């Protein structure tokens, strides 16, 4: 949907400076895809940075690769501000002023909808693609840049995190074909990258996850499971919110659960909700009702209420989703 990837590549070839924006609460796909593109652009003589406003999660710190920047006040303008793996101003909060430094605006995403509160000179969204990293891999090919080891690591991280280690239903033949091509890169080692992502958790984060899981609430004869991560729990174990990555996937490993939900208290009256479906439910519909969005089986939203109030609103919608097959 939107502009063709080849046309976007041709547009970028004519530009000199590109500022890249992964979404807030960055994950492996948004950061991996952004850094991979930044490295590729630098390799063909472009000035490029990945614009951030938050710390990189520890398990993704190897994806930084010297690309990130937190202050662009010293730069007057960039030829392009490019949003990666999301759309809409609410996904680049805290970086609005930096976004406006781009003479033209673009968006590359794999989510089904493009938010209408931003004008894009070009955009591409491929809902059938498992990870934005796959799109960026193909874009780098169109740009004529070499797939280096660092780029390969970033693309693999993007793919493996957004497909749940190739377990999710969004995984396609293209997903595996691109991953297979990464093995042609000298010294690429999927095990090393996977270990950096998944095998560096602190004892405290495991204990924090255990408390959330031990207090799950079940509805609709066990088809719906809801976990709540409060600021009190984070404080108790000395954890950051980004250390909750993976809890909602753990919820989905429970036999009989069709819809999983993790309500994360980010502030006094702000919660971020992660939704997952196993086989038959559409959680994107639920997220959209609360101003969010996402994919059929993986979606999310932000609600400006307490965790308890969020739960009250979500429970009937999640039960309906679990009982409505698509």
Question: Tell me: the pLDDT tens digits for 301-322?
Answer: 999 999 999 999 999 999 999 9
Asked whether residue 159 falls in the same domain as residue 288, the answer is: no
- Give the structural domain span for 186: 5-198
Task: Note the pLDDT tens digit of each residue in 192-243.
Answer: 999 999 999 999 999 999 999 999 999 999 999 999 999 999 999 999 888 8
Residues 88 and 210 in one domain: no
Note the Cα 228 to chain centre separation in Å: 20
User: The domain spanning residue 143 has which CATH number?
Assistant: 3.90.1640.10
- Quick one: 218 and 286 in the same domain? yes
Domain boundary residue, one of 163, 198, 233:
198
The verdict on 49 and 186 lying in the same domain is: yes
Same domain? For 31 and 136 the reply is yes
Rounded Cα–Cα distance for residues 17 and 257 (Å): 47
Same domain membership, residue 92 and residue 239: no
CB contact at 8 A, 205 and 237? yes
Task: Tell me the pLDDT tens digit for each residue of 45-59.
Answer: 999 999 999 999 989
> Do 154 and 66 have their domain in common?
yes
**Whole-number mean pLDDT of the chain?**
95
Supply the DSSP symbol for 173.
Answer: H
| Predicted local distance difference test score (pLDDT) of residue 85 | 96
More confident residue, 326 or 46: 46
Token duo for residue 234 = 């984070």
127 and 57 in a common domain: yes
The CATH code of the domain that includes 296 is 3.10.310.30
Nearest to 101 by CA among 30, 46, 20: 20
DSSP state of 2: B
Please tell me whether residues 9 and 128 are part of one structural domain. yes
Strands 298-303, 270-277: pairing kind: antiparallel
Final residue before a domain boundary, out of 155, 176, 198: 198
Looking from the CA of 287 toward its CB, the CA atoms found within 13 Å total 29
Pair 249, 149 in one domain: no
Counting every residue written for the chain, the total comes to 326
pLDDT tens, 269-305?
Answer: 899 999 999 988 999 999 999 988 888 899 999 999 9
Instruction: Give the total number of structural domains in the chain.
Output: 2
Q: 140, 173, 198: which is the final residue of a domain?
A: 198
Q: What would the pLDDT profile of 154-179 be if each residue is shown by its tens digit?
A: 999 999 999 999 988 899 999 999 99
Please tell me whether residues 179 and 211 are part of one structural domain. no
pLDDT at position 1 over 90: no
Cα–chain-centroid distance for residue 307? Answer: 22
pLDDT band for position 113 (cuts 50, 70, 90): confident
- The answer, yes or no, to whether residue 326 has pLDDT greater than 70, is no
Q: Count other Cβ atoms within 10 Å, centred on residue 271.
A: 25
The answer to whether residues 198 and 233 touch, using CB atoms and an 8 Å cutoff, is: no
pTM of the model: 0.90
Which residues share a beta bridge with 108? Answer: 84, 124
């Amino acid at each position: 949907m939107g502009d063709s990837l080849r046309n976007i590549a041709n547009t970028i070839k004519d530009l000199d400076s590109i500022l890249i924006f992964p979404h807030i609460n960055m994950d492996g796909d948004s950061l991996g895809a952004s850094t991979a593109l930044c490295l590729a652009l630098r390799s063909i003589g472009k000035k490029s940075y990945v614009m951030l406003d938050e710390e990189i999660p520890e398990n993704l710190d190897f994806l930084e690769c010297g690309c990130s920047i937190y202050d662009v006040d010293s730069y007057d303008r960039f030829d392009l501000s490019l949003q990666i793996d999301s759309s809409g101003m609410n996904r680049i909060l805290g970086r609005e002023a930096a976004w406006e430094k781009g003479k033209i605006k673009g968006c590359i995403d794999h989510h089904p909808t493009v938010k209408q509160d931003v004008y894009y000179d070009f955009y591409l969204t491929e809902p059938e693609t498992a990870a934005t990293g796959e799109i960026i891999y193909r874009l780098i090919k169109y740009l004529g840049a070499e797939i280096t080891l660092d780029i390969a690591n970033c693309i693999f991280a993007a793919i493996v995190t957004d497909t749940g280690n190739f377990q999710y239903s969004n995984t396609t033949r293209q997903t595996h074909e691109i991953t297979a091509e990464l093995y042609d890169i000298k010294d690429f080692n999927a095990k090393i990258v996977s270990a950096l992502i998944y095998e560096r958790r602190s004892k405290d984060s495991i204990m924090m996850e255990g408390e959330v899981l031990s207090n799950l609430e079940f509805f609709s004869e066990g088809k719906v499971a809801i976990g709540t991560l409060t600021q009190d729990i984070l404080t108790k174990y000395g954890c950051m919110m980004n250390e909750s990555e993976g809890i909602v996937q753990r919820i989905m490993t429970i036999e009989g659960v069709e819809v999983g939900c993790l309500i994360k208290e980010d502030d006094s009256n702000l919660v971020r909700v992660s939704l997952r479906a196993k086989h038959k439910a559409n959680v994107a519909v639920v997220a959209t009702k609360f101003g969010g969005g996402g994919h059929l089986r993986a979606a999310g939203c932000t609600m400006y209420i307490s965790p308890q109030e969020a739960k009250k609103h979500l429970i009937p919608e999640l039960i309906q989703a679990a009982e409505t097959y698509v």
